[in-house]
């Protein structure tokens, strides 16, 4: 007999966890629907050709590949083996597990472009798989919870994303959070202004670590990546800047004045904040963080990230705008904007802050406890009535002593029991 075990980086979700996860997902999907987003599901597996090349070389390595069925070696020649794994792979695996929800979404949009009503707003809650090395809060199978709008450049989308995030956090009773906003064009502008035009992706990767490793270390990394002394000096006032949204916008207007694209970013940010005000959203939790970069290279406009301080848990939500979502599938120039909630991390945050409501745990309202066959028969006759009244009820299925039945109720967390003895039956209760 073998000991059962789980593949590395995967988890079971027991009843208690499922109830709490369902609470989170109910809250999120309710909000998505309220904003006009519609559900989409795509297959767990995609053609490998759909997935490869979309996430960079490292991403390709993190894809789970599915071995072809049957004689998976039939197309492989000895010469292929000699050429290495890269040559053999396409001949033994033509499918892979999805790595995120964005690429399958783009594939879906392209395949259905004639049927969809644009701007198309969809949400999608499904697991994704990455052959990463697991760590705390990082798994090989985890859920993403995406909402995207494709087919419009309107900044209303950005505003609505901010409003949805605020609504979800309010519903979940998370009071203290930071919704960080920035714009990729601002970052491009910064690269231009400090004389490092075109090196913004390297700039982003380094700057993104500011919170984690501090300004000193970021400067070292920038130096390693070929940023000059002057560039780093020019960056310093920006790093040092603090202030509210209005002050930061004013600061950026002068700092980025030499950069056309940078000023475009500032203008977009101004519009978003202005629309937000008109919408009536509270400025609560919103931070304009010019150092927010996010690692992803495909964002071209707004960038979002949400953190809950003092929990030791990384960002729980993030997203941004991309100009060309569907270009890789041959349909150029379709803009989109979207974001994602990290369900697993949100779960951890609620756990740490003890914000799960008691009723999140789904358990029967009553257990019917019987002493003998007569009580069991009577209990059986009550079951359907009580259930018809909308109560979750169960009857202990075996004849056994009360101690065991009550212990079952205790362990399962059933708060109320009905004892069915001769006296109760006689009294009609």
Q: Which residues are annotated as a binding site for L-histidine?
A: 100-102, 130, 144, 148, 294, 298-299
For the chain, the residue count is 429
Chain centroid to CA 281: how far? 23
Cβ atoms 393, 420 nearer than 8 A: no
Residues 188-217 that bind RNA (CB under 7 A): 205, 209, 212
Contact flag: residue 58 with RNA (CB under 7 A): yes
Contact flag: residue 371 with RNA (CB under 7 A): yes
Shortest Cβ 247–RNA spacing (Å): 29
Contact flag: residue 6 with RNA (CB under 7 A): yes
Contact flag: residue 137 with RNA (CB under 7 A): yes
Residues annotated within a binding site: 100-102, 130, 144, 148, 294, 298-299
Contact flag: residue 2 with RNA (CB under 7 A): no
Contact flag: residue 344 with RNA (CB under 7 A): yes
Residue 110, Ramachandran bin (φ over 0: left; ψ between -120 and 50: alpha; else beta): alpha
Cβ atoms 231, 222 nearer than 8 A: yes
Token pair of 131, please?
Answer: 């052959």
Cβ atoms 294, 283 nearer than 8 A: no
Binding letters toward RNA, positions 309-338, x by CB under 7 A: -----xxxxx--------------------
Shortest Cβ 237–RNA spacing (Å): 25
Q: Give the nearer residue to RNA in terms of CB position, either 71 or 310.
A: 310
For 242-281, letters b (16+ CB in 10 Å) and e give eeebeebbebbeebbeebebbbbbbebbbebbebbeeeeb
Residues 268-297 that bind RNA (CB under 7 A): 294-297
From 183-191, 246-254, 354-362, 400-408, span contacting RNA (CB under 7 A): 400-408
Residue 408 DSSP SS3:
helix
Provide CB contacts within 8 A for 112, sequence distance 6+. Answer: none
Shortest Cβ 380–RNA spacing (Å): 17
Contact flag: residue 12 with RNA (CB under 7 A): no
Cβ neighbour number for residue 241 with a 10 Å cutoff: 14
From 130-138, 156-164, 165-173, 324-332, span contacting RNA (CB under 7 A): 130-138
Binding letters toward RNA, positions 83-122, x by CB under 7 A: -----------------x----------------------
End-to-end CA distance of the chain: 50
Cα–Cα distances (Å) from 23 to 16, 114, 359, 361, in that order, read 11, 36, 9, 9
User: Under the rule (CB under 7 A), what is the footprint of RNA?
Assistant: 3, 5-9, 58-59, 100, 130, 132-140, 142, 144, 205, 209, 212, 294-297, 314-318, 340, 342, 344-345, 371, 401-404, 406-407, 409-411, 419, 421-424
């Amino acid at each position: 007999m073998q000991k059962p075990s789980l593949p590395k980086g995967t988890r079971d979700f027991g009843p208690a966890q499922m109830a709490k996860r369902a609470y989170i997902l109910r809250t999120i999907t309710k909000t998505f629907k309220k904003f006009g987003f519609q559900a989409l599901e795509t297959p767990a597996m995609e053609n490998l050709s759909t997935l490869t090349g979309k996430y960079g070389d490292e991403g390709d390595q993190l894809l789970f590949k599915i071995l072809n069925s049957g004689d998976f070696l039939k197309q492989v020649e000895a010469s292929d083996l000699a050429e290495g794994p890269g040559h053999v792979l396409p001949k033994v695996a033509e499918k892979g597990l999805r790595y995120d929800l964005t690429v399958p979404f783009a594939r879906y949009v392209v395949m259905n472009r004639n049927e969809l009503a644009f701007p198309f707003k969809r949400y999608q809650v499904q697991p994704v798989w990455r052959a990463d090395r697991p760590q705390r809060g990082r798994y090989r199978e985890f859920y993403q919870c995406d909402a995207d709008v494709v087919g419009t450049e309107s900044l209303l989308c950005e505003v609505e994303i901010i409003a949805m995030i605020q609504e979800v956090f309010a519903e979940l009773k998370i009071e203290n959070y930071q919704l960080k906003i920035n714009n990729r064009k601002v970052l491009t502008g910064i690269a231009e202004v400090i004389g490092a035009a075109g090196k913004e992706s390297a700039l982003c990767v380094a700057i993104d670590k500011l919170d984690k490793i501090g300004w000193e270390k970021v400067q070292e990394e920038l130096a390693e990546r070929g940023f000059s002394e002057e560039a780093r000096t020019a960056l310093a006032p920006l790093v040092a800047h603090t202030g509210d949204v209005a002050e930061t916008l004013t600061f950026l207007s002068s700092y980025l004045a030499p950069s056309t694209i940078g000023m475009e970013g500032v203008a977009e940010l101004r519009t978003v904040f202005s629309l937000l005000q008109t919408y009536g959203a509270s400025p609560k939790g919103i931070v304009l963080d010019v150092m927010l970069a996010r690692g992803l290279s495909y964002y071209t406009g707004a960038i979002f990230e949400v953190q809950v301080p003092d929990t030791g848990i990384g960002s729980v939500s993030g997203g941004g705008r991309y100009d060309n979502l569907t270009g890789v599938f041959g349909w150029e120039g379709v803009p989109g904007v979207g974001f994602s909630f990290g369900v697993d991390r949100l779960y951890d945050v609620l756990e740490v802050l003890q914000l799960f409501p008691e009723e999140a745990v789904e358990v029967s309202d009553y257990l019917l406890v019987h002493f003998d066959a007569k009580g069991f028969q009577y209990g059986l006759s009550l079951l359907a009535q009580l259930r018809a009244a909308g109560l979750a009820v169960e009857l202990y299925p075996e004849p056994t002593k009360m101690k065991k039945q009550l212990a079952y109720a205790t362990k399962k967390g059933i708060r109320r029991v009905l004892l069915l003895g001769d006296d109760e039956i006689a009294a009609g209760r």
